[in-house]
């Protein structure tokens, strides 16, 4: 506790190797708070600076942390094809309002191997016509892969955009059987 009797924020992080490249995983006592694609040194350092600014404490590299252990295990199982759903406590503190509402619906309502259109997802949260705002919510998702923004596609069958890059989105959709595996 701090001098005011409040619990101090503690953020643990690590980088794990996956089929789509290194992912930074960060967790608080409340749950997984951030997943960052392509976690090279430069990307990792920028992400950690953002977390420090947003959460008010400097994240600590702690690959053996109990806060991260289950997330690491479930991410590995997902990429090996042994897990379809994540069952992790999530810390939603990096996102709020409409974006949080949309991401919570995505996490609970779009299962492995399924996709949803931006407009359809907007309708599910009571905002028909807000497809573009759903796209913004996907782009601000602090928990990609675990909160599966890769499952949101264009209504005309297009793949749509993706913060981790379109090749990463294709690989995730192929892993889930939505798209065929790339030939090379």
| 86 close to 78: Cβ distance less than 8 angstroms | yes
Between the alpha carbon of residue 115 and those of residues 32, 60, 110, 112, the distances in Å are 23, 35, 7, 8
| 11 close to 60: Cβ distance less than 8 angstroms | yes
Question: So what's the pLDDT on residue 183?
Answer: 60
Between CA 42 and CA 172 the distance in angstroms is 24
Chain segment 14-38, per-residue pLDDT in tens: 999 999 999 999 999 999 999 999 9
CB-based contacts of 122, cutoff 8 Å, min separation 6: 102, 128, 129, 130, 131, 133, 134
Question: So what's the pLDDT on residue 180?
Answer: 84
Exactly one of 95, 131, 138, 149 is catalytic; name it: 149
Q: Is 106 a catalytic residue?
A: no
């Amino acid at each position: 506790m701090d001098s005011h009797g409040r619990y101090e924020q503690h953020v643990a992080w690590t980088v794990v190797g996956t089929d789509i490249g290194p992912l930074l995983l960060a967790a608080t006592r409340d749950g997984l708070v951030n997943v960052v694609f392509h976690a090279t040194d430069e990307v990792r350092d920028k992400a950690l600076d953002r977390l420090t600014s947003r959460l008010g404490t400097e994240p600590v590299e702690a690959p053996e942390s109990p806060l991260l252990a289950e997330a690491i295990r479930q991410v590995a199982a997902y990429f090996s094809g042994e897990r379809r759903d994540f069952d992790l406590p999530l810390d939603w503190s990096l996102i709020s309002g409409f974006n949080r509402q949309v991401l919570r619906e995505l996490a609970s309502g779009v299962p492995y191997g399924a996709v949803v259109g931006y407009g359809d997802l907007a309708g599910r949260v009571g905002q028909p016509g807000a497809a573009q705002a759903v796209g913004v919510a996907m782009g601000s998702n602090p928990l990609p892969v675990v909160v599966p923004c890769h499952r949101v596609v264009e209504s005309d069958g297009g793949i749509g955009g993706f913060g981790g890059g379109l090749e990463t989105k294709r690989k995730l959709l192929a892993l889930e059987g939505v798209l065929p595996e790339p030939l090379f």
